[in-house]
Amino acid sequence: MKVSSILVHVLSVSSLKGGVGKTTVTLGLASASFAKGLRTLVVDFDPQADVSTGMDIDISGHQNVADVLASPKEKVVRSAIAPSGWTKGRSGKIDVLIGSPSAINFDPPHPSIRDIWKLEEALTHIENEYDLVLIDSAPSLNALTRTAWAASDRVAIVTEPGLFSNSAADRALRAIEEIRRGLSPRLQPLGIIVNRVKIQSLEHQFRIKELREMFGPLVLNPQLPERTSLQQAQGAAKPLHIWPGESAEEMANHFDQLLERILRAAHLR
């Protein structure tokens, strides 16, 4: 197994609590990466496969992530990757390793070491072709998340301002450290992305303050306000950066800033 990723930076976007907008954040980062001109691969590792839908993937004639996990050979990996519909009429390279509900069959609570390294093995076949790989991981700490993290350089934890979400962020950071010590020494947390912030909410401001007291500089700026433009762009299967309106422009700028943080961590800037 490779010790460090030199030619491509791999980031898992994760949450151990569902419903915090993890996939929406993945799509926002993918849009920022595409807008910046980075050669980008998005790995749809969540069995809900919403990233594949949100990136306008034509799955006909392709295999998918479940096939890759069954056999991470180059031919299978290439067959499971499709160009995003975002590229229609636009220059740039942004592809998706297609998701599938069948990925749940590869998500036992106690995976073997061999299984944990399968995505890492798969990515070695195509890593020279991309600058950034974003993995939309499953919202649990079973095999799929551990497999995603073993293939990653950094993990971004998505949370929202709430008591239970803060606890989930703490569990995720502890789990990252466990994987780093036991399996993948290169793995580090990128930080915590706070999503769906209601700026006027005193409860949200209190929870963000609590997060900062718990995790300090791991709480990333900017926090992402709750905006319908994100859901609208996602529902239309379009990149956020081309969606009209001031709200979309504001959110695109936020994701640009988060992408810059990712690139600094990857020494790509």
pLDDT at 134 over 70: yes
- pLDDT tens by residue, 200-225: 999 999 999 999 999 999 999 999 99
What pLDDT digit, counting tens, does each position of 74-120 carry? 999 999 999 999 999 899 999 999 999 999 999 999 999 999 999 99
What is the b/e burial string over 29-53, where b = at least 16 CB atoms within 10 angstroms of the residue's CB? bbbbbbbbebbbbbbbbbbbbbbbb
Task: In whole angstroms, give the CA distance from residue 120 to residue 117.
Answer: 5
Q: Which two tokens stand for residue 69?
A: 């996990």
Q: In whole angstroms, give the CA distance from residue 255 to residue 251.
A: 6
- Would the pLDDT of 5 be above 60? no
- CB contact at 8 A, 114 and 103: no
Give the pTM. 0.94
- Residue 30 parent element (H or E): helix 22-36
Domain boundaries of the chain, sorted by first residue: 9-265
Average pLDDT over residues 36-58: 96
Residues β-bridged to residue 188: 154
pLDDT digits (tens, 9 = 90+) for 108-126: 999 999 999 999 999 999 9
Q: Is the pLDDT of residue 1 over 60?
A: no
CA distances from 197 to 55, 161, 206, 207 (A): 24, 7, 11, 10
pLDDT surpassing 80 at residue 4: no
Positive or negative: CA dihedral 90, 94, 95, 101: negative
CATH 3.40.50.410 correct for 9-265: no
